[in-house]
Amino acid sequence: MSATAATRPRPGAGTPPPRTAAARRRMLGLDRDAWFLLLPALIPVLVLSVGPLLYGISLAFTDAQSGVTRSTSFTGVRNFADLRLDSLFWDSFRIGLVWAVCVTALQLLLALGLALLLNQNLRFRWLARTLALVPWAMPEVVVGIMWRLVYNPDAGILNNTLRHLHLTSGHTDWLSSLSLALPAVIVVGVWFGMPQTTVVLLAGLQNVPLELHEAAAIDGAGAWRRFTTVTWPTLKPVVLSITALNFIWNFNSFGLVYVLTSGGPGGKTRLPSLFAYEEAFRYGQFGYAAAMGLVMVAVVAVLLTVFLRNRLKEADQ
């Protein structure tokens, strides 16, 4: 096990140790080797990721359809002009934003609370740590199925518990209700995504200097004061990057909601990725669906730029 200890990444291991000029020259002189080493990864990435992406972007400007022998022709921005008037798409887009913002925000708040708790010396901490990792390991299809069992109007545990507590009549059909389906689905999204965020934040908390905490406590700073002045400054970059990533993942999420509601009832939970999937693989409109994908990327990119601009500014200074 000594090898394990030696290779475990340590804080500070990321900065390269100072090298002599000769060593650096040797490193630079071997750049051909670098290409050689990168090649096995580069080829599949170029052929199956970068290439298809560029192809996909170009498809957005054509009338490509699936399984049609007729040749595809360039149609300029017509797809986007159609998309602008497609109110169903914009409904779906709005739902996607609500879903992504709610899930990301709740995930962050709950994960932050849990991470702070797990950072304390509490009993049963191990149980929470273990349990928190389980959702992360589960296939999203299974998570969807599991919550369908929970939400089941007759045999589900949620209605049953509410009935016993005399809170509701206990016959709510959570996933088929026009008003409740989206919140119900958001809860599942939070449950599924919270663990990963917790682990990342917990890792970030390990970097908070303990001496500062103790010094602040001796000076009479309360828990909240210590959090805002000591913990938060260290944690902020981690929070920003995990929130940005979570937002992207949530906005593009597909499988969970596909299994839970398939976008129903009445399209109330139809995320943009579900909408584009149906357009592409049910109706065969490849070009139009690609245009939707492009609009999704554009919006995510703009939101992220706004969100991350402050951080980038800080990094530049």
Q: Which residues within the stretch 97-126 sit at the binding site for other proteins (CB under 8 A)?
A: 110, 113-114, 117, 120, 122, 124-125
Residue 283 binds to other proteins (criterion: CB under 8 A): no
Residue 239 binds to other proteins (criterion: CB under 8 A): no
| Cβ nearer to other proteins, comparing 182 with 242 | 242
The answer to whether 62 and 72 are in contact (CB under 8 A) is: yes
Residue 138 binds to other proteins (criterion: CB under 8 A): yes
User: Looking at 16-24, 83-91, 97-105, 178-186, which segment touches other proteins (CB under 8 A)?
Assistant: 16-24
Q: Tell me, what amino acid is at 138? A: M
Tokens 């970097």 belong to: 207
3-state secondary structure of 74: strand
Report 243-262 residues binding other proteins (CB under 8 A): 245, 248-249, 251-252, 254-255, 258-259
Minimum distance of other proteins from residue 178's CB (angstroms): 19
Residue 137 binds to other proteins (criterion: CB under 8 A): yes
Residue 230 binds to other proteins (criterion: CB under 8 A): no
> Which tokens in the block code for residue 227?
């959090």
Residue 286 binds to other proteins (criterion: CB under 8 A): yes
| Cβ nearer to other proteins, comparing 59 with 102 | 59
The answer to whether 287 and 62 are in contact (CB under 8 A) is: yes
Q: Which of 98, 216, 241, 267 binds other proteins (CB under 8 A)?
A: 241
Angle, helices 181-205/140-151, rounded to nearest 10 degrees: 130
Phi-psi region of 170 (alpha: psi -120 to 50; beta: other; left: phi over 0): left
Backbone angles phi and psi of 298, in degrees to 5: -60, -45
Residue 302 binds to other proteins (criterion: CB under 8 A): no
Minimum distance of other proteins from residue 93's CB (angstroms): 12
| Cβ nearer to other proteins, comparing 55 with 232 | 55
Burial call 155-175: b when 16+ CB within 10 Å, e when fewer: ebebbeebeeeeeeebebbbb
Residue 76 binds to other proteins (criterion: CB under 8 A): no
Residues 6+ apart with CB under 8 A from 66: 280, 281, 284, 286
| Cβ nearer to other proteins, comparing 206 with 229 | 206
Residue 290 binds to other proteins (criterion: CB under 8 A): yes
Report 147-206 residues binding other proteins (CB under 8 A): 147-150, 152, 154-157, 160, 191, 195, 199-200, 202-204, 206
User: Looking at 11-19, 77-85, 101-109, 224-232, which segment touches other proteins (CB under 8 A)?
Assistant: 11-19
User: Looking at 19-27, 83-91, 97-105, 178-186, which segment touches other proteins (CB under 8 A)?
Assistant: 19-27
Residue 141 binds to other proteins (criterion: CB under 8 A): yes
The answer to whether 247 and 100 are in contact (CB under 8 A) is: yes
| 165 HSE (CA, 13 A, CB side) | 8
Minimum distance of other proteins from residue 129's CB (angstroms): 8
Any idea of the CA torsion for 131, 156, 148, 175, to the nearest 10 degrees?
-130
Tokens 């490509």 belong to: 64
User: Looking at 79-87, 98-106, 177-185, 219-227, which segment touches other proteins (CB under 8 A)?
Assistant: 219-227
Report 46-75 residues binding other proteins (CB under 8 A): 48-53, 55-57, 59, 64, 66
Please state, in angstroms and rounded to a whole number, the distance separating the CA atoms of residues 17 and 6. Answer: 16
The answer to whether 220 and 212 are in contact (CB under 8 A) is: no
